Structure 1
Amino acid sequence: MRQNPQTAGRLRPIDLARRHGLSTQAVRNYEAAGILPAAGRTAHDYRTYAPLHAHALAAFLALVPGHGHGTATAIMQAVNRDDPEEAFRIVDESHAQLLEDRRTLQAVERALRDLGPGAAPDDASSPGGMFVGPLAGKLGIRPATLRKWERAGLVTPRRDPRTGYRVYADTDVRDAGLAHQLRRGGYRLEQIAPLIAQVRAAGGLEPLAAALRDWHARLAARGRAMLAGAAELDAYLRHAHDGH
């Protein structure tokens, strides 16, 4: 990347810091981390920055909300070592992760719709719940599958004190149904476990609607932030290419 920090006007660390409400130490830390290009030095060894550094700092701070601090750092480091292809690859991977997160949300919503209002039925094969056989038959799976899900934390049946048999309460039936739908959608157990935990934390399917709305909002905010970050990164790349 062609650059000459001394040719386009000097900026002090405090000048960069004030624009973004940062400390001068933060600016120095960003330079040390490779987020900013190396600063110029005066005859007395004071750091001097140029408008190019201001563009770099603006790009980094714009990338963070959409991509996260670590990814934004990796993008800027790649650009500053004159490896834009690597920077673009990192950006693409981050966008791909956002798309995967959207697909996960859609899968959860489909699973919840498929469960329907009868997700936690009142009928049971034993007082207060269902045994493993009837529940497995209801879902069209083997009892061994339910036991595997139990080991993964997807369902937490209690034990009948008289027989020692597993008894699945209404919430377990609901969670097993949700897990079954997500498994049919190709999701792994380690992906399903945190989603089941969200359902439990929300207190059921109905309260989860608010969490799903928040999930949508956060994904939309990330998408918008990625667009804003891309604009600032493009501006930085253009200035770096022009040698300003």
Structure 2
Amino acid sequence: MSERMSGGRRRALRTADVARESGYSVQQVRDLEKLGVIPAAARMGNGYRAYTPLHIHALRAYRGLAGAVGPVAARKLLAELRTVTITEAASAINEVHVRLAREREEALLAEQALRAIQTEADTPEFEQDSDAMTITELSRALGVRPSTLRFWEEQGLVTPERVTSLRARRYDLSAIRTARIVAALRNTGYGIPAARALVDSLHRLDGTDEALRILRARLDHIALRTVELLRAGADLAAVVAAEEDPAAS
């Protein structure tokens, strides 16, 4: 970091200074200011923008956040961090870490389910009633709404057992595994037709390779997003600290 941003007497930073320190172009700095990613710069007597080190921290934080959660969510989070207490800001950032951890766990469970499907033909399992789930239990386990499971059923993605005269749904172990895989595929961006084609292939001995490839790619992508979030950490801390103590910026 340049001398302007560390000790000594600090002076106003030009747009070019901010661009060089943040890794964005001059035009990108101006565009991101218009979008509210960074606070509006003060204006000097000659009309030029006057930035501070806080703007550079905010831009670097945005780069990492955008890589972790996408540009729209990153803009929203940075705007939120400028209006809340340090405790609330820390909680908001922690929620992003938790979300990524949940996505990773979901993908790992789907991968485990897929490997079980691969081997179940050779090692049949005795599925006890305790292995089954109601629609409420499964929706909670997957983090989706019961209506989503009903929609997947309508689309031929997940087929539950039906019990009682009220047609209450019950999902056996095989349906639970398939539902985990569908959830991971949908979160990867797979549309309904593509997910259905992949689900239809799962019980063929040669039909699971593509699903495994997709799940591994998703795990790799989550890892990269996590690294981006970690990379943004110090700059996020600087943004939060500056909002808590404006004199620090």
What TM-score results when the alignment is normalised by the length of structure 2? 0.61
Measured after TM superposition, the shift of residue 119 of structure 1 is 5.4
In structure 2, the partner of 1:48 is 50
* Unmatched segments (≥5 aa) in structure 2: 1-8, 123-131, 133-149, 160-171, 202-206
Measured after TM superposition, the shift of residue 73 of structure 1 is 1.3
What TM-score results when the alignment is normalised by the length of structure 1? 0.62
Larger Rg: 1
**Native 8 Å contact 2:54 2:238 kept in 1:** no
> Which residue of the other structure, out of 143, 154, 157, is the alignment partner of 2:157?
154
SS for the counterpart of 2:10 is coil
- Partner amino acid, structure 1, of 2:183: Q
In structure 1, the partner of 2:10 is 8
**Native 8 Å contact 1:119 1:177 kept in 2:** no
**Native 8 Å contact 2:82 2:240 kept in 1:** no
Q: Percent identity?
A: 31
**Are residue 36 (structure 1) and residue 28 (structure 2) matched?**
no
* Unmatched segments (≥5 aa) in structure 1: 1-6, 121-139, 141-146, 157-175
C-alpha distance in 2, partners of 1:148/1:12? 54
Measured after TM superposition, the shift of residue 153 of structure 1 is 3.2
**Are residue 63 (structure 1) and residue 65 (structure 2) matched?**
yes
Offset from partner CA, 1:143-191 (integer Å, 9 cap, x none): xxxx9866223179xxxxxxxxxxxxxxxxxxx98544245xxx6x983
SS for the counterpart of 1:34 is coil
> Which residue of the other structure, out of 17, 22, 25, is the alignment partner of 2:24?
22
C-alpha distance in 1, partners of 2:158/2:212? 21
- Partner amino acid, structure 2, of 1:235: A
In structure 2, the partner of 1:243 is 248
Over 3 Å counting, the alpha-carbon distance change for 1:207 and 1:102 in structure 2 is same
Cα RMSD (Å): 3.7
In structure 2, the partner of 1:191 is 183
Measured after TM superposition, the shift of residue 64 of structure 1 is 1.8
SS for the counterpart of 1:116 is helix
Aligned residues: 191
